[in-house]
Structure 1
Amino acid sequence: MTDKKRTETDWQDLRVFLALCRHGSLSGAARALGVNHATISRRIQSLESSVGEKLVERRPDGYVLTPAGTRTMEIASSMEAAAQGIARGGDETSLKGLVRVNAPPALSLAFVIEELARVPTVYPGLDIDIASDLRSISLDRHQADIAVRLGRPLDGDFIAKPMGRMDFGFYGTPRICAQIEAGMEPVFISFDEENADMPDATWLARNYPKARVSFRANNHVGQATAAKAGAGLALIPHYVGRRERTLQLCKMPVEPASREIWILTRRQDRNNQPIRTVADFLMESFSNNRQLFEA
């Protein structure tokens, strides 16, 4: 049990604690901060001693926050945001700070990164950190401030806003498409075995159960690259296929339904101006490029 006696809190302990919250492991936090595991462990013990409560519990799959840890994380995150603003100086009314964004890898590579790269030029005090993970990272653990998701979230204390829809099609080289139109059985490109449970992959397996999958990659951009090389037909979003001039859309008997695109922010951040500004920027970007995403 942690001693309930409280001592003065060290900001460096809080900084290490936030890193552990975001990465979920001693090794991840150590890599992020450039220190060793022992330093992370020592700092967490020091912080627990200072607040007088247990903040994290070790599980087989990583560290999880206790209720006290969740409360401490919220406070530490606010302190971090304030410290970043102070460090930048300047006019109090100017926008400053780091905003973390999470989006699926293909969406990041083929659209979001290019759009968000304009943020620091429009708002010189704002910095962007984008994580393009196939598996969603946590807003609750402050790994991200903004998340772009496919499909409406069903739980969590988030503000979720729709940004449009994503339509899909089969793309291939003109030669591949001509062969299929002439009656050749299609050969497909899909997700790798580790990600065979992705909605696109399961839809393809269900609707074309006997078809050969000649090439597998873990994101749509990689699948489009394989399609350009002639490996087969790739079931990819239009925003990826339309940007590849050497690919064309091939009509198939059945095609998947649209998926909704949503943007999520934490409800507690609704008055955080940097986060709101970047979220609004993203929403406008999707709105202005709706024709790229929809059939």
Structure 2
Amino acid sequence: MTVQKQTAFLNWDDVRVFLELARTGSLSAAARALRISHATVGRRVAALEADLGRTLVERRVDGYTLTAEGEAVFVLADGMDERALAILRRGGHEQGLTGTVRLTATQALADRFLVPRLGPFHARHPGIDLEVTVDNRALSLARREADLAIRLARPEHGDLIARRLATIVYGLFAMPGARDAWIGYDEALADLPEAVWLARHGAGRRVAFRSNSVQAQLAAAKAGFGAALLPVWLAAGEPELVALPMPEPLAREAWLVLHRDMKEVPRVRAVIEHLVALFSAEPALAPLDA
């Protein structure tokens, strides 16, 4: 009598969800990154634990932590994750000018600059679906949280390509007669270059309104709270605001960032070309050569 040896198979989706929970330590953060529900995250990780016959994560007051077994599995699976994602990124080469391109940018750039200018792109490339994620976090391009990112700082790590799109110039703007107080950022963004500039030049001045949202700061300036430090391109659409003297210039570079594997994917190239043209055509931005 011959005994057939059974081969065990792991569900890769379970492993992928486990990796995200291990990285974030939170059901909600893992669910957001993977665009699935909290319940699905829990169910996938439980299924992986059942397949392996061991406990991988423990629930703590401040989130989830890995057990010793979980640490060992994470080390092994982390490399698998990157190789699998590399295969997925290369798969996009065969799709041509169809499929989805995921783009992430800050709220102001997405809502006020990019999305209103994407109509011609859709008309020219109707087979490409765009997914725009408004997020100030640096979403992972390696883990396909996004295909393209517009960031206000050049990334220093990862197998990424970064192209300078433009220089974003800032100015002080206020309603007439409402320039005594200032509008600033909350403490969580104290290290932001704009917040540092305000702290240096606004020492001793009243801050009548704070927000981590540039669009909220713009609205506060229009409501008469005081002077706001705003991108010139954004304030240019608000003719009622008055430009105030700048004690020191401030500018930040906008970078278009993508994973090296996505460089030659046709649908991604099409989006890149459109974005470069958009930034080059905006008179309130100073274009930069790549």
| Whole-Å separation in 2 of the counterparts to 1:140 and 1:56 | 24
Provide structure 1 residue ranges, at least 5 long, that are not aligned to the other structure: 50-54, 86-91, 181-185
The 1:67/1:246 distance shift into structure 2, 3 A limit, reads: farther
Confirm or deny: 8 A CA contact 1:239 1:293 kept in the other structure: yes
Q: CA RMSD in A?
A: 3.6
Give the match for residue 126 of structure 2. Answer: 124
| Whole-Å separation in 2 of the counterparts to 1:140 and 1:257 | 31
Give the match for residue 36 of structure 2. Answer: 33
| Whole-Å separation in 1 of the counterparts to 2:48 and 2:109 | 36
Give the match for residue 3 of structure 2. Answer: none
The 1:218/1:35 distance shift into structure 2, 3 A limit, reads: closer
Give the match for residue 264 of structure 1. Answer: 257
Matches within 5 A, 1:1-295: 7-8=8-9, 10=11, 12-13=13-14, 16=17, 25-30=26-31, 32-34=35-37, 36=39, 37-45=41-49, 66=75, 68-76=77-85, 78-79=87-88, 82=91, 94-116=96-118, 118-176=120-178, 186-252=180-246, 254-289=247-282, 291-294=283-286
Task: Give the secondary structure class of the aligned counterpart of 2:177.
Answer: helix
The 1:40/1:117 distance shift into structure 2, 3 A limit, reads: farther
| Whole-Å separation in 2 of the counterparts to 1:6 and 1:201 | 58
The one-letter code matched in structure 2 to 1:198 is L
Deviation at 1:272, TM superposition (A): 1.9
Deviation at 1:67, TM superposition (A): 5.9
Deviation at 1:10, TM superposition (A): 4.1
Q: State the Cα deviation string for residues 63-97 of structure 1 (Å, max 9, x = none).
A: 89636424324424644885x99xxxxxx764122
| Whole-Å separation in 2 of the counterparts to 1:275 and 1:46 | 39
Deviation at 1:231, TM superposition (A): 0.5
| Whole-Å separation in 2 of the counterparts to 1:256 and 1:13 | 51
The 1:76/1:135 distance shift into structure 2, 3 A limit, reads: closer
Give the match for residue 89 of structure 1. Answer: none
| Whole-Å separation in 2 of the counterparts to 1:141 and 1:236 | 32
Task: Give the secondary structure class of the aligned counterpart of 1:161.
Answer: strand
Confirm or deny: 8 A CA contact 1:26 1:40 kept in the other structure: no
Provide structure 2 residue ranges, at least 5 long, that are not aligned to the other structure: 1-5, 66-70
Deviation at 1:161, TM superposition (A): 0.7
Deviation at 1:210, TM superposition (A): 1.0
| Whole-Å separation in 1 of the counterparts to 2:79 and 2:221 | 45
Q: State the Cα deviation string for residues 16-46 of structure 1 (Å, max 9, x = none).
A: 5687599774334446323614312135447
| Whole-Å separation in 1 of the counterparts to 2:239 and 2:185 | 22
Give the match for residue 183 of structure 1. Answer: none
